């Protein structure tokens, strides 16, 4: 369930850092030698099936398994917008989600079983994702810089596992200056897949949306955002060259290193409306020992 206070402020689905099954209490020793108790994020396997074919086992925090499964299959190109999903069955006891379609797709026969871990560098990429980009051009949606700063402030201050426990990524579906749906997971790909699943199950229109992520703007993040039809991708973190190249190819507005008053746009700068008053935007303090990091 989403946090009620956050829903009162306009969120459709917000983080719930107080949900006890998402973290575990662990006793350790701090830098002074004192015993300390902290909560750390849970990590558990979830196996996703497409009809009768086992597709992947993902390591996840365990919330919104149906959104994760459907979003993963859509973002990997295994289920298209034309495919009719007849059911999504989650079995908590055996940690399995089965997504069923009206017609068996060709992916069940040509894909072998794969395992995707929570490690940031080992997200599984199938060739169908790149194939889905052929001929794709995203709508030339304009973005107000004042909305970007408003989004960053709201997202970075809302209670979340990202702030309370760390070791987690967040992805937020936004519209204008309003964050709508905030998903978190141990892998940034899981978080964006949950957003994709939510959009599919709620018939959300992507053309006027912005996707905000705490993770790096890699090729896979750019591809998934483009395949979702979202024309703007924003991050606190930095870029990879291939991610930038793909964003330019499909017309995705790509903004990274957004901290305080600063950001860098490496694709789609012509679609920005520079209406923000920087005097009203507080600078973010620089962290010692991380000069130039992003």
**At 293, phi and psi to the nearest 5?**
-75, 150
Residue keyed to tokens 């015993």: 35
Q: Where in the chain is the domain with CATH 3.10.20.10?
A: 44-130
**At 191, phi and psi to the nearest 5?**
-65, -45
Q: Where in the chain is the domain with CATH 3.40.140.10?
A: 143-280
The tens digit of pLDDT for each residue in 172-195 reads: 999 999 999 999 999 889 999 999
Query: How far lies 120's CA from each of 117, 155, 185, 212, 215, in Å?
Result: 8, 22, 11, 17, 9
The tens digit of pLDDT for each residue in 234-262 reads: 999 999 999 999 999 999 999 999 999 99
In the structure, what pLDDT confidence band is assigned to residue 127 with cuts at 50, 70 and 90? low
CATH fold for the domain made of 44-130: Ubiquitin-like (UB roll) (3.10.20)
Label residue 282 exposed, middle or buried (CB < 10 Å: 0-12, 13-18, 19+).
exposed
Catalytic residue numbers? Answer: 120
Has residue 288 got a pLDDT over 70? no
- CATH architecture for residues 143-280: 3-Layer(aba) Sandwich (3.40)
């Amino acid at each position: 369930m989403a946090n009620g206070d956050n829903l009162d402020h306009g969120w459709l689905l917000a983080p719930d850092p107080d949900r006890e099954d998402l973290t575990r209490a662990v006793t350790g020793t701090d830098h002074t030698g004192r015993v300390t108790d902290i909560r750390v994020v849970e990590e558990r396997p979830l196996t996703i099936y497409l009809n009768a074919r086992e597709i992947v086992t993902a390591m996840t925090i365990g919330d919104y398994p149906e959104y994760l499964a459907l979003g993963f299959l859509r973002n990997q190109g295994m289920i298209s917008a034309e495919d009719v999903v007849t059911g999504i069955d989650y079995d908590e006891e055996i940690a399995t989600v089965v997504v069923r379609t009206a017609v068996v797709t060709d992916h069940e026969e040509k894909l072998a079983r794969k395992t995707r871990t929570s490690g940031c560098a080992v997200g599984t990429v199938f060739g169908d994702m790149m194939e889905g980009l052929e001929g794709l051009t995203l709508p030339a949606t304009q973005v107000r810089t004042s909305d970007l700063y408003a989004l960053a402030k709201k997202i970075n201050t809302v209670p979340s596992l990202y702030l309370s426990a760390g070791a987690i990524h967040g992805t937020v579906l936004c519209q204008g200056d309003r964050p709508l749906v905030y998903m978190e997971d141990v892998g940034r790909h899981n978080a964006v897949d949950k957003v994709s699943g939510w959009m599919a199950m709620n018939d959300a229109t992507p053309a006027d949306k912005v996707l905000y992520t705490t993770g790096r703007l890699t090729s896979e993040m750019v591809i998934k955002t483009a395949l979702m039809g979202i024309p703007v991708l924003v991050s606190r973190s930095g870029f990879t060259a291939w991610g930038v190249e793909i964003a330019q190819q499909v017309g995705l507005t790509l903004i990274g290193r957004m901290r305080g008053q600063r950001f860098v746009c490496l694709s789609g700068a012509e679609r920005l409306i520079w209406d923000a008053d920087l005097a009203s935007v507080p600078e973010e303090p620089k962290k010692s020992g991380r000069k130039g990091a992003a």
